[in-house]
Amino acid sequence: MEPPEFTIADAQTAFDRGEWTAAGLVDRYLTRIRQIDRSGPTLRSMIEVNPDAVAIAEALDAERARGRTRGPLHGVPIVVKDNIDTGDTMATTAGSLALEGNIASRDAFVARKLRDTGAVILGKTNMSEWGYLRSTRPCSGWSSRGGQVRNAYVLDRSPLGSSSGSAVAVAANLCIGAIGAEVDGSIVRPASSSSIVGLKPTVGLVSRAGAIGVAAPQDTLGPMARTVADVATVLTALTGFDEHDPATRDGAKHAAPDYRRFLDPVALRGARLGVARECFGQHEGTDALVDDAVARLAELGAQIVDPVRASSLPFFGDLEVELFSYGLKASLNGYLGSHPGAGVRSLEELIAFNEQNASRVMPYFGQEFLEQAQSKGDLTDANYLRVAAELRRRGRDEGIDKAMREHRLDAIVAPTEGSPAFVIDPVVGDNILPGGCSTPPAVAGYPHISVPAGYVRGLPVGLSFFAGAFQEPKIIAYAYAFEQATQVRRPPDFAPTLPS
């Protein structure tokens, strides 16, 4: 029997009533992973399963039997992206064969927080190798270690973003929730293409320590799930001050004790929402769905301000790519240099490994971006400081902050992605259209949530809400009210391709 599409609350109710055990649920998910991720549709969303997951779940069941539960995630199966350290027997590789056998000595902060609140880390998810930034023409969801992640709704379509495996695992019901990571779009874009909810928190709300990042001004980790309520529950578990990530000092001051308290079905009444029209115009089907969603927001009581301009920054534009070049070099040198089990100890050694193992590591596309990053200086370089300051100015002062202030907005809405998912093509690379709204909140470091808005010929489309720093309560509330009123999400049926 397949596991139901449990929410976290459903699972806890079933556990309390004795209808399910955590060990039984974990076992069902492991069976489903074997049936549809490793065979059948062969989604390849999981890069590794935790061999200790059943034993961990059994221990948590024993705790429950003794009258102790650690919190709302007690016994809940969660998967984490393969750039996040877990101090167990699973490797952390960012999808790369160069890091096979890289066993971390301790949990990343978020992994420890999950365990402290009783979650079962079921396994690690496949991803775009090195966070999508190995080549200048990469393919979303492909890694040399894990192969190509497939979109669960239409198998030959892209899963998008580097947290592709996390999104697909949630959509295909291989877990209850997941942790993704984003520098620009890597949580929200795969959430949109997999018809799930993904939240990119404000930079600093969730620690990045123990995770392989790209660029510190924009890097963050965040929750992905099938419902807004589950995202709020997982986010609550992840926040807190971490001495290994100084940005969390400010984040801990703004963290809510429990984000579930903002799950208000009438939150949209009186909310003033701006429509970022610069994020439209790439696909008529996406635009029509999101326009319908905006009309529904108005019916639910929101005051719509249309249009507003959230940013003039293009997705992966020149300034952002320059920031990523410097940031990736610093991030990889820092991570690899502190993980003796990684095999390669620097970006320079990684590039050499890839060249020596090109037939296995680079069968479709190269490592131009890694080479570009290697040529950069460090984070004290005057050009890096200029680029970071200019992005901050354009993303915040002349972008979201300006729009929010001038139009007196509570949040901004837009299509998450400019079009439905394109066809997977590892030879040519991704066919990303320039629409969508991941860049403004990513560059600003501000919160962004994507929630299912509907389907274009069976391909999911997401609606985004984003706002100023630490405004997670507002965007969670608005996304929840929209979700509850529309209930558009449906499970995938693993169609091989679109009908002609």
Q: Active site includes 105?
A: no
d(CA 158, CA 189): 11
Q: What does the H/E/C string look like for 467-492?
A: CCCCCHHHHHHHHHHHHHHHCCCCCC
Q: ∠ at Cα 208 (460, 89), nearest 5°?
A: 90
CB-CB neighbours of 290 under 10 Å: 23
Q: Are 151 and 158 in contact (CB under 8 A)?
A: yes
The DSSP secondary structure of 196-232, one letter per residue, reads SEEEEPPBTTB--TTB--S-TTT-EEEEEESSHHHHH
In the chain, DSSP finds a helix count (H) and a strand count (E) of 17, 13
DSSP conformation letters of 389-429: HHHHIIIIIIIIHHHHHHTT-SEEEEESBSSSPPBP-TTT-
The backbone torsions φ and ψ at residue 409, rounded to the nearest 5 degrees and listed phi first, read -95, 155
Dist CA 316 CA 190 (whole Å):
16
In this structure, are residues 481 and 265 in contact, taking their beta carbons and an 8 Å threshold? yes
Determine which one of 162, 325, 450, 464 is catalytic: 162
Query: In 3D, which of 461, 467, 472 has the Cα closest to residue 416?
Result: 461
Q: How far apart are the first and last CA of the chain?
A: 33
Known catalytic residue at 81: yes
**Residue 384 CB neighbour total at 10 angstroms:** 21
What contacts 237, CB < 8 A, 6 or more positions away?
Answer: 71, 72, 73, 113, 114, 116, 117, 119
Dig out the tokens for 255 from the structure.
Answer: 């963290």
454 close to 194: Cβ distance less than 8 angstroms: no
Active-site hit among 45, 81, 311, 325: 81
Residue 122 in 3-state DSSP? strand
- Order of strands across the sheet with 303-308? 46-49, 120-125, 77-81, 177-182, 220-225, 197-200, 448-456, 459-466, 411-415, 272-276, 303-308
Cβ atoms 451, 192 nearer than 8 A:
no
- Which residue of the set 128, 186, 193, 450 is catalytic? 186
Catalytic (active-site) positions:
81, 162, 186
